[in-house]
Amino acid sequence: MRDTDEPDTKLRKSLSSWDLTVFGVAVAVGAGIFTLTARTAGNVAGPSVSLAFVFAAVACGLAALCYAEFASTVPVAGSAYTFSYATFGEFVAWIIGWDLILEFALASAVVAKGWSLYLGEVLGTSSPVVSIGGLDVDWGALVIVAVLTVLLATGVKISSRVSLVITAIKVGVVLLIVVVGAFYIKAANYSPYIPPAVPAEKESGLTQSLFSFVTGAEGSNFGWYGLLAAASLVFFAFIGFDVVATTAEEASDPQKALPRGILGSLLIVTILYVAVTLVLTGMVKYTELGGEGATLATAFELNGITWASKVISFGALAGLTTVVMVLMLGQSRVLFAMSRDGLMPRRLAKTGSRGTPVRITVLVGIVVGLLAAFFPIGTLEEMVNIGTLFAFVLVSIGVVVLRRTRPDLKRGFRVPLVPLVPILAVLACVWLMLNLSVETWLRFVVWMALGVVVYFGYSRRHSVLGARQHADDTH
């Protein structure tokens, strides 16, 4: 916290509770609400998908309480990276920082490609991809990343104002869908609420979940197992409240603003998700949403409301704009914190007169732009999920550790029922991680191994903490 006062690497404190809540809602209400809800209802859970969202929200809420305590106690940029540094030391902090770099970069690129697809739908053309010398370039994704990079480099306050306007538009679209769809609800479509279980298609080898691989258990769609599987699928629609914690250092009153921003945004998106799923599964029988092509628009088209498809595409386009922006903001703040600590090149952490890390913001924009423009992302989406859950686990454990090691610290928010709540958060996140595929776990282990090599090859020798300890030893 003392390091945040260095004039060359100082961030401007300008964000209120409202700004932080908007950021949380901005990143959580994305394309998931328009696509994930319908597919999960049709293929996995039926009408009980609304309950799956509640289960996922509870798992997220447990982790959110831990984030809120940490963010109000150690209001420093970097989120889980900074919290791990404060409790477990430099090496574990590096591991989680390396993990967050992967999470935010891939998530930004994946969502930018999704934005590009919806742009094609709104413009009434095919996807915005051009072939240059036999190489496919997604110019739509490149354009949105470039525009948002300029916006973020201008300053975090103006970014929050733009985010507020676009978030208001997409929440307005969601509320319109709920109100219009409510008139077409038929109570008979909710029965059975939890459909009878049917055997799932058997997946083998690296594509099956780690849980199935270890236990040999065969999953099922629908039924109670399907409901729990759906909770682990829709959980990823909530990813984003942790990005609020990355801006801790820029909050004008972090002790109050951060817990309100984190918990407030989670509550708002849970209400929106549950409302949408109740309307969706009430409008049509869940069996009509089966297959991979079902979206929210499918339910409206089956009821003859054809104009809804354009409105939903427009809402998704607005939704994904702020998702990319807030994910890139999170990425730049984690890299900023790591650079200021010397684990990445220190010159990157320079903020200048604007109080914004412009160099890092531009660097993040270039990397995300290249990933989104040239790489088919596909199965790497699951990498985002495992990275986030790993961060949740460490933060939850860290709350218990910091209560023991530094009970004297001023805490703007305290997790109730410690250690019970953090333990439940860890168990919920580990269960969700076990539902991810074996190949995702293998990729994650390889990325982490590469991180260990970078740490011992560069970061450990350049770290500010290491230099201080060396100076103390020589004295």
- pLDDT for res 274: 92
| pTM of the full structure | 0.82
pLDDT digits (tens, 9 = 90+) for 105-116: 888 888 888 888
340: CB partners within 8 A, 6+ apart:
3, 6, 9, 346, 349, 464
In the structure encoding, which two tokens stand for residue 283, read together?
Answer: 């409008």
CB neighbourhood size of 407 (10 A): 8
- pLDDT for res 2: 64
- pLDDT for res 379: 52
Mean pLDDT for the chain? 83
pLDDT digits (tens, 9 = 90+) for 34-56: 767 888 898 888 999 999 999 88
- pLDDT for res 72: 82
Across 62-78, average pLDDT = 83
CB 80 within 8 A of CB 391: yes
pLDDT digits (tens, 9 = 90+) for 302-323: 888 888 878 887 888 888 888 8
pLDDT band at 427 (very low <50, low <70, confident <90, very high): very high
3-state secondary structure of 427: helix
pLDDT digits (tens, 9 = 90+) for 4-22: 556 666 677 777 888 888 8
- pLDDT for res 223: 84
CA distance 290 to 288: 6
DSSP single-letter state for residue 377:
-
Of 128, 179, 186, the residue nearest 372 (C-alpha): 128
Q: Which of 16-25, 35-44, 287-296, 446-455 has the highest mean pLDDT?
A: 446-455
Across 399-409, average pLDDT = 90
- pLDDT for res 304: 87
- pLDDT for res 396: 92
